[in-house]
Chains A and B, each alone.
Chain A
Amino acid sequence: MTSAASPSSPAPAASTAAIGLREQDQARTHRLVFVIMLVILIGAPLVGVYPVFMMKVMCFALFACAFNLLLGFGGLLSFGHAMFIGSAGYAAAHSAKVWGFTPELAVLFAALCAGALGWVTGLLAIRRQGIYFAMITLALAQMVFFFSLQAPFTGGEDGIQAVPRGHLFGLVDLSQPLAMYAFVLVIFVAGFALIYRIVHSPFGQVLQAIRENEPRAISLGYDADKFKHRAFVLSAALSGLAGGTKAILFQLASLTDVHWGMSGEVVLMTLVGGMGTIFGPVVGAAVIVTMQNYLAELGAWVTVVQGSIFVVCVLAFRRGIVGELGHWLKKSL
Chain B
Amino acid sequence: MFDIPIQALMGQLLIGLINGSFYALLSLGLAVIFGLLNIINFAHGAFYMMGAFGAYLLLEKLGLSYWWALLVSPVVIGALGIVVERTMLARLYKLDHLYGLLLTFGLALIIQGLFRNAYGATGLPYAIPEQLQGGQNLGFMFLPNYRGWVIIASLAICLATWFVIEHTRLGGYLRAATENPQLVQAFGINVPRMITLTFGFGVGLAALAGVMAAPIYQVSPLMGADLIIVVFAVVVIGGMGSIMGSIITGFGLGLIEGLTKVFYPEASTTVIFIIMTIVLLIRPAGLFGTQK
Name A's B-contacting residues (CB within 8 A). Answer: 1-4, 77, 79, 124, 127-128, 130-132, 134-136, 138-140, 142-143, 146-147, 149-150, 260, 264, 267, 271, 299-311, 313-315, 318
Contact = CB atoms under 8 A, between A and B. Distances in A.
Contacts of A131: 34, 38-40, 97-98, 101
A168 B204 CA distance: 57
Interface stretch (B13-21, B191-199, B272-280): B272-280
A139 B88 contact: no
A17 to B, nearest CB: 33
B274 A143 contact: yes
B236 A314 contact: no
A269 to B, nearest CB: 13
Contacts of B274: 143
Contacts of A150: 266, 269
A1 B99 CA distance: 9
A139 B284 contact: no
B232 A304 contact: no
Contacts of A124: 277, 280-281
B183 interface: no
B108 interface: yes
B96 A4 contact: yes
A2 B113 contact: no
Interface in B85-107: 88, 91-92, 94-99, 101-103, 105-107
B113 A314 contact: no
B65 to A, nearest CB: 30
Grouping DSSP codes into helix (H, G, I), strand (E, B) and loop, the B interface class, with mixed when no group exceeds half, is helix
A329 to B, nearest CB: 24
Given A2-B96, A4-B96, A314-B103, A127 B284 contact: yes
Given A1-B98, A314-B106, A128 B280 contact: yes
Given A264-B105, A300-B117, A310-B103, A142 B110 contact: no
A3 B95 contact: yes
B235 interface: yes
A4 B99 contact: yes
Interface string B228-252: 0110110110000000000000000
A3 B91 CA distance: 14
B270 A147 contact: yes
A77 B280 contact: no
6 contacts: A2-B96, A128-B284, A138-B229, A139-B236, A271-B102, A302-B113
Nearest to A308: B110
Given A260-B225, A300-B117, 16 more contacts: A4-B96, A77-B102, A79-B101, A128-B236, A128-B285, A134-B40, A143-B277, A149-B269, A264-B109, A303-B110, A303-B116, A304-B114, A307-B108, A310-B107, A314-B92, A315-B88
Contact of A142 (B88, B101, B103, B273): B273
B112 interface: yes
Contact of B229 (A260, A305, A315): A260
Contacts of B225: 260
Nearest to B273: A143
Contacts of B38: 131
A303 B113 contact: yes
Contacts of A271: 102
B: contact size bracket: 35 or more
Interface of B: 34, 38-40, 88, 91-92, 94-99, 101-103, 105-114, 116-117, 225-226, 229-230, 232-233, 235-236, 266, 269-270, 273-274, 276-277, 280-281, 284-285
B225 to A, nearest CB: 8
Contacts of B108: 307
Contact of A315 (B103, B105, B230, B280): B103
Contacts of A301: 113, 117
A124 B95 CA distance: 26
Contacts of A267: 102, 105
A333 B51 CA distance: 45
A252 to B, nearest CB: 22
B109 A306 contact: yes
Nearest to A149: B269
B101 A311 contact: no
Contacts of A138: 229, 232
A131 B281 CA distance: 18
Nearest to A142: B229
Nearest to A7: B95
B138 to A, nearest CB: 33
A64 to B, nearest CB: 15
B106 A139 contact: no
A300 B122 CA distance: 13
B235 A135 contact: yes
Contacts of A3: 94-96
A116 to B, nearest CB: 16
A245 B101 CA distance: 30
A299 B106 contact: no
A132 B101 CA distance: 11
Nearest to B40: A131
A311 B110 contact: yes
Contact of B99 (A79, A302, A318): A318
Residue among B102, B111, B116, B230 facing the most chain A CB atoms (10 A cut-off)? B102
A311 B88 contact: yes
Contact of A304 (B113, B266, B281): B113
Query: When A and B form their complex, which 7 residue pairs have the shortest distance between CB atoms, in order from nearest?
Result: A310-B106, A307-B109, A303-B113, A307-B110, A304-B113, A143-B273, A300-B116
A330 to B, nearest CB: 23
Given A304-B110, A311-B103, A130 B97 contact: yes
Given A131-B40, A267-B102, A136 B236 contact: yes
